[in-house]
């Protein structure tokens, strides 16, 4: 009877060790699977820009445009990069609230175009980056500092988290673009970048060259040896 109890105890310990070892071995596989899912999601985000309600680019969202196009926006605008980097990815409780807050902000911005958000794209990795287009710097600042919007409380929470741990980093970059001082071209592309936010414009006339699109020439400054565009 005593021997039977001992054998049962040994078997219980062995089973527990087996389960623990299995979990330990499976965790890296689960982690790699999640990274794979994030990578695939990143690829699909390329085809599906984040656009607010009523955006000019919504009609072409997800389509492959088999021609050369550019983008046009009246007046000044803002290009805004924002993101965070995970230094200690295993400290999920530290950095996860930052990522979750960003999702809520994007939902709010897409549902409230009056905030001035024009659209953008997400790039998942380390760092995770959002490239955004805004109508004006003033509207960007107004949204960021409005206590009634989702960004302000998230901003306060992030500062509190960063005071007690260094598991993640944060950054943003703001570029104020004056009217007409930009150029872009998209060839055989899904709606992307400023072209996705504002809707594609066919390439013709002065838009034929980069200097032309930037307003410096009439679009007649192509190098002579350059082959004609395939699209």
Q: DSSP string of the chain?
A: -HHHHHHHHHHHHHHHHHHHHHHHHHHHHHHHHHHHHHHHHHHHHHHS-B--TT-GGGGGTT--EEEEEE----S-EEEEEEEEEESSTT-HHHHHHHHHHHHHHHHHHHH-GGG-EEEEEEE-SSSEEEEEEES-HHHHHHHHH-TTSSHHHHHHHHHHHHHH--SEEEEEEEEEE-TT-----EEEE-S-HHHHHH--EE--GGGGSHHHHTTSS-S----TTPPPP--
Q: Residue 172 in contact with residue 102, Cβ under 8 Å?
A: no
Determine the pLDDT at residue 201.
93
Domains of the chain: 77-177 (3.30.70.100)
Determine the pLDDT at residue 72.
94
Question: What is the residue-averaged pLDDT of the chain?
Answer: 85
Average pLDDT score over residue span 159-177: 90
- Higher-pLDDT residue of 109 and 25 is 109
Query: Cα–Cα distance between 75 and 122 in angstroms, integer?
Result: 25
How do strand 168-177 and strand 65-70 relate by DSSP bridges?
Answer: unpaired
Residue 231 has pLDDT above 60, yes or no: yes
The separation between CA 102 and the C-alpha centre of its own chain, rounded to angstroms, equals 10
Cα dihedral sign for 36, 42, 47, 49? Answer: positive
Percent of the chain with pLDDT over 90: 42
Which of 8-12, 23-27, 169-173 has the lowest average pLDDT?
8-12
Q: Which region, left, alpha or beta, applies to residue 164 given φ > 0 means left and ψ of -120 to 50 means alpha?
A: alpha
User: Which phi and psi (to 5°) does residue 179 adopt?
Assistant: -50, 125
Determine the pLDDT at residue 18.
72
Q: Which region, left, alpha or beta, applies to residue 188 given φ > 0 means left and ψ of -120 to 50 means alpha?
A: left
């Amino acid at each position: 009877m005593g021997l039977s109890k001992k054998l049962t105890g040994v078997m219980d310990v062995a089973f527990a060790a087996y389960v623990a070892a299995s979990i330990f071995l499976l965790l890296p596989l689960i982690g790699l699977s999640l990274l794979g899912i994030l990578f695939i999601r990143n690829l699909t985000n390329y085809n599906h820009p984040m656009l607010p309600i009523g955006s000019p680019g919504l009609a072409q969202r997800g389509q492959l445009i088999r021609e050369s196009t550019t983008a046009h926006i009246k007046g000044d605008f803002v290009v805004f990069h924002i993101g965070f980097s995970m230094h200690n990815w295993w400290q999920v409780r530290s950095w996860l609230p930052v990522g979750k807050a960003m999702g809520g902000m994007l939902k709010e911005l897409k549902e409230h175009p009056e905030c001035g958000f024009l659209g953008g794209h997400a790039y998942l990795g380390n760092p995770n980056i959002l490239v955004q287009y805004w109508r004006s710097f003033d509207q960007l600042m107004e949204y960021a500092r409005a206590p009634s919007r989702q960004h302000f409380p998230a901003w306060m929470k992030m500062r509190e988290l960063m005071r007690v741990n260094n598991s993640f980093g944060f950054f943003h970059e703001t570029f104020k673009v004056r009217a007409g001082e930009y150029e872009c071209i998209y060839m055989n592309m899904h709606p992307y970048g400023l072209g996705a936010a504002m809707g594609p414009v066919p390439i013709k006339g002065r838009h034929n060259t980069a200097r032309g699109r930037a307003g410096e020439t009439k679009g007649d400054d192509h190098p002579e040896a350059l082959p004609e565009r395939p699209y």
